[in-house]
Structure 1
Amino acid sequence: MSLKKIIAAKNSGFRTKTVTVPEWGGITVILREPSVGAWSHWAETLRGIENSENTVDKHAQRIVAEAKLFASTLCDEKGNVIFDSEFDDLIANYGPVHSRLLNQALELSGIGNTPIEEAKKK
């Protein structure tokens, strides 16, 4: 295969990790580091949430933002993102297992749980 095809191949710009999820009956999922677009949207949402006065609103917005970022990291065996636009069920049922998987996907790219604070330190 040519260098050009390798570089331009689907998902060639992403690190991935296969993870077994005991809480989901032992299924295996593929995690991919977040895309720049998904991460940017998440970071912008977090910045907006910081300025909100309503604590209940902040919590709900964080769940939505985190669930959507998680959705951008979960792939099928062919490397296709599983959730592309239908997030309602995921958001309604988002929990600690999802967060743990998202943290593993973020570790692939070196992005931590507090990107805004980390960026301020640099």
Structure 2
Amino acid sequence: MTNLKKLISAKNAGFRTTTLTVPEWGGITVVLREPSVGAWSIWAETLRQIEDNNDADDKHSKRIRAEAILFASTLCDEKGNIIFDGEYDDLIANYGPVHSRLLNQALELSGIGKTPIEDAKKK
């Protein structure tokens, strides 16, 4: 018989995941999971703060930083461990279209769009 408590509380039991091959990174396979509530909340709050800012350059750099950190919360190794642990500088400096595409796929796992604030206003 399955131990329900153990099953439910297992690492990543509360997250949908997908495994993808990334041709741009030499064909490696990565595991993406949907963002945690905490990571998504920080991202959404950062986007809200960015909307209130009038400096276009500052908006751009803050948006990239927020997106890169959210991406980092979704990228796992084959055992389901988050790869990034607070070390985001290199990721932010090199964040590009491949990262963004992968983040979009992780967001799709949870049904969160790239414009969560605008989406919420439509409801």
TM-score range, shorter chain: over 0.9
The amino acid that maps onto 1:95 is G
Report the TM-score when normalising by structure 1: 0.99
- Aligned CA RMSD, in angstroms, stands at 0.5
Gaps of 5+ in 1: none
Deviations 1:8-42 (A, max 9, x none): 11100000000000000000000000000000000
2:86 corresponds to 1:85: yes
1:18-97 aligned at under 5 Å gives the runs 18-97=19-98
Looking at structure 2, the residues matched to 71 and 2 of structure 1 have their Cα atoms a distance apart, in angstroms, of: 31
Runs in 1 of length 4+ with deviation above 2 angstroms? none
Residue 102 of structure 1 corresponds to which residue in structure 2? 103
Looking at structure 2, the residues matched to 111 and 53 of structure 1 have their Cα atoms a distance apart, in angstroms, of: 26
% identical aligned pairs: 80
Gaps of 5+ in 2: none
The amino acid that maps onto 1:9 is A
Looking at structure 2, the residues matched to 59 and 120 of structure 1 have their Cα atoms a distance apart, in angstroms, of: 22
Instruction: Report SS of the residue matched to 2:20.
Output: strand
Aligned residues: 122
